[in-house]
Amino acid sequence: MLAAFDREHPSQTLSEIAQRTGLALSTTHRVLAELAAWGALERAEDGSWHVGLRLWEIASGCPRTQILRDAALPFMQDLYEATHENVQLAVREGTELVFVERIAGHRSVELLTMVGTRFPIASTGMGRVLLAHAPQEIQEDVLGAPMRAWTPHTVTEPKALRAQLDRIRRERVFVSDRQLSEGTVAVAAAVRIGLTGPVSAALGIVIAARGASRARGLREPLLRAAHGISDELGRRTRTTA
């Protein structure tokens, strides 16, 4: 039932939840009451249901993202102060990426992504960085499946994407030119557990496409931030081991 709620369906009526879950109305009503009593769901004044605060409290304690976010935030804040652009952090889960942190100002370009959203891993610049460092079987699953062309600039041809992934591994920084949105350009780099450890996340800066000429100048500050986060993650891992 909890899976019935997502970004496209943040608030639903009893009937809508029953329809999406395939449960009887009586069963849906009973389970909703149990989840609401625990705090996982809340009921609005108009009778609709939405995710409750208790789920946010639980999710915020996820070890995989809590340590990462704690280590990354100071460097993300420094990167934002240096650029005043959207700064994002994402992790891979299977063949998807999940955005786990974001810093943005009121002048930053508007994005399709936000904290907690999932996208197919090949659809964003940060996702392609994660894909470039993913296990071979994950790469083959993605390359062997149809890919959505989000814009006319999206690279979807497997041979071209495979070459792009090779280039990402060599150059360390990837500039995603209007791959997800015609209005944005992303610059992304890998975050490791330690300076030479496995890739844990991707760090990215997203700017307006009209300012794409700035992308090259963002390479060094982005790499410094990714290097700092990687070093801090390695230190924390050694401390807790």
The pLDDT of residue 4: 85
pLDDT: which is higher, 109 or 147? 147
Residue 222 pLDDT greater than 90, yes or no: yes
Write down the mean pLDDT value for the chain: 87
What total of structural domains would you count in the chain?
A: 2
Q: Are residues 154 and 185 in the same domain?
A: yes
Q: What is the pLDDT of residue 163?
A: 94
Average of per-residue pLDDT across 34-58: 83
18 and 126 housed in the same domain? no
Residues 29 and 82 in one domain: no
Mean pLDDT check: name the lowest of 17-26, 141-150, 212-221.
Answer: 212-221
Domain carrying residue 144: 63-240
Same domain, 123 and 42: no
CATH number at residue 53: 1.10.10.10
Q: Are residues 165 and 233 in the same domain?
A: yes
Q: Is the pLDDT of residue 3 over 90?
A: no
pLDDT of residue 216: 84
Last residue of a domain, one of 10, 36, 59: 59
Range 170-194 average pLDDT: 90
DSSP state of 4: G
pLDDT of 75 strictly over 80: yes
Instruction: Indicate whether 34 and 68 sit together in one domain.
Output: no
What is the pLDDT at residue 96?
93
CATH number of residue 119's parent domain: 3.30.450.40
One domain for residues 196 and 108: yes
Last residue of a domain, one of 25, 40, 59: 59
| Same domain as 184, residue 77 | yes
70 in the same domain as 43: no
- Highest-scoring range by mean pLDDT, 15-24, 114-123, 208-217: 15-24
- pLDDT at position 7, please? 66
Tell which of 59, 79, 103 closes a domain. Answer: 59
Residue 166 scores a pLDDT above 90: yes
pTM above 0.95, yes or no: no
- Assess whether pLDDT exceeds 90 at residue 223: yes
Q: What is the pLDDT of residues 56-70, one digit of tens each?
A: 666 666 566 678 888
- Mean pLDDT value across residues 188-207: 93
- Mark whether 149 and 187 lie in a shared domain: yes
pLDDT at 88 over 60: yes
pLDDT tops 70 at residue 25: yes
Do 33 and 117 lie in one domain? The reply is no
- Evaluate if residue 12 carries a pLDDT over 90: no
Residue 241 pLDDT > 60, yes or no?
no
